[in-house]
Structure 1
Amino acid sequence: MPELTLLAWALLAISAVLVGISKTALPGANTISIAIFAALLPARESTGALLLLLIVADMFAIWAYRKHADWTVLRRLVPTVLAGLLLGAGFLAVADDAGVRRVIGVILLLVIGITLWRRWAAHRSTRGGTTVAPTTTGAPTSSSEASTPTRGARRAQAAIYGTLGGFTTMVANAAGPVMSMYFLASRFSMKTFLGTAAWFFAVVNLVKLPFSIGLGLITGPTLLMDLALVPAVVIGALAGRWLVARMNQVLFERLVVVLTIGGAVYLLL
């Protein structure tokens, strides 16, 4: 078991709760967990430790939303996600701990930048008189964004988001916000969004498991630590299932943005 202070264990437990909530209520909310794990543990080992907790939470997400996945979209993502996973595994094989830490910080900042840009664009469309509709994360989407994309556009989106999602999930378990943007662009209802995300990450995380073991990211001490944190994941997953129809997602997302930026800047410095 890693030697950690009481405060560190408390922060890890909070992170584990957020992992559960992110799978059953707020996709992408676990960016805070990524930052905390990478700050408290060696950056490379943090990805392996978090992966095991994500797999536990995936099982709860599938149980809750197993009937709502869009399998057409999932099949479209398979080739590009696999390519991204291989790129990420290659990077982890050659990068040192400091390099991985910096990449995690940069990835988080990029993801937050994309999120803020989309909100600004939606706000500008609203001020310009464009009709907006709520999305599954509480941020508005303009009617122009809601138009049906062409087949070529769908393939391009799958290639870009799939590759980036595969790379970020392998390197930093940070594909949640990236794939959330893709699922929002696919105009999913809330349950279809959560169901598609549940199956996507369950499969991807299981595929990542042998890579993580082979790279030495998952060890005996990691397993012991995760066993201690599993109850917190379960609490978070059940709380997310209860909160999904009741939580003020806009306020929570703003807190996620602020805390994730702080965590990413800390990792970079």
Structure 2
Amino acid sequence: MPDLAWWAWALLCLAAIVVGVSKTAVPGANAISVAIFAALLPARQSTGALLVLLLVADLFAIVAYRRHVDWATLLRLAPAVVAGLLLGVLFLAFADDEGVRRVIGALLLAVIAFTLGWRRLRRAVEDPGPHRLAAATYGTLGGFTTMVANAAGPVMSMYFLAARFPVKLWLGTAAWSFFLINVSKLPFSIGLGLITPSGLLLDLVLVPLVVAGALSGRWLAGRLDQRLFERLVIGFTVVGALYLLLAP
């Protein structure tokens, strides 16, 4: 078990709750969990510990939103996500902890800028449909960021934001997407030494808080206005990205 101060444990407990809420209510909020784990644990170890918690939350999310899934979107994203995952494996084989944090923070900010610009351009040409370029861009970045730091939530949320998904369809499609991605990451994470015995002990302590967060998020999602939902996603993503990029 990691030897941490009481305030560090308090932050990890908060991060575990946010993991659950991010899966069933506000996907971009997971950027906060990524930042907390990366700040309190070695960045590579934090990736493995967080992955297990995300898988637990994924199970709650796919049950909660099993009737709200756009399978065509998942198939469209799949090739790019796989390519991004493989790039992430190569990166982790050579990168150190600081490099991981900085790269993810920079990518998240770039994704936000790209998404807002993309939405403005599409609004100007009155074209609400999905594009192959967007699927390739977000899918590759999502695969890379999820492998490197479990930060695909904000990236893929930006794709669903650009595609103007309603809240429940957004959450259901994202739930199945992340579950399938996270399961596929397990062999790579074990092989790279990201999942450790001490990390699993930490997960065992935090899992009940993930469950509580997921149940709370399910209640919250039915009461969120679409515009507020989108603003929360963007706001949490910006905060998490800036922390990863600027933290000492």
TM over 0.5: yes
Of 137, 151, 174, 1:160 maps to 137
Matched positions, count:
245
Q: Contact 1:145–1:185 at 8 Å: present in 2 too?
A: no
Give the equivalent residue in structure 1 for 2:61. 61
Quick one: distance in 2 between partners of 1:187 and 1:262? 25
Equivalent of 1:208, from 181, 185, 198? 185
Instruction: Indicate the residue corresponding to 1:26 in structure 2.
Output: 26
Runs (5+) with no aligned partner, structure 1: 126-140
Give the equivalent residue in structure 2 for 1:148.
129
Letter in 2 for 1:147: P
- In the superposition, the TM-score normalised over structure 1's length comes to 0.83
Quote how far apart the aligned CAs of 1:18 are. 0.6
The answer to whether the 8 A contact 1:107-1:174 is kept is no
- Structure with bigger gyration radius: 1
Where does residue 49 of structure 1 map in the other structure? 49
Distance of 1:145 and 1:167 partners within structure 2: 31
CA distance in 2, matches of 1:231, 1:266: 31
Matched ranges for 1:48-127 at <5 A? 48-114=48-114, 117=116
Structure 2 letter corresponding to 1:106: A
Residue identity over aligned pairs, in percent, reads 62
Q: CA RMSD in A?
A: 2.3
The residue aligned with 2:220 is: 243
- Structure 2 gap segments, 5+ residues each: none
The residue aligned with 2:15 is 15
Q: Select the structure that is richer in helix.
A: 2
Match in the other structure for 1:260: 240
Change in Cα spacing, 1:118 to 1:205, as seen in structure 2 (3 Å) is same
Q: Deviation per CA, 1:22-41, whole angstroms, max 9, x where unpaired?
A: 10001111101111110000
Q: Which amino acid aligns with 1:63?
A: V
Per the TM alignment, residue 188 of structure 1 is displaced from its structure 2 partner at its CA by 2.3
Q: TM-score, normalised by structure 2?
A: 0.89
- Which of the residues 207, 213, 218 maps onto 1:230? 207
Q: Could you tell me how far apart the structure 2 residues matched to 1:88 and 1:255 are?
A: 25
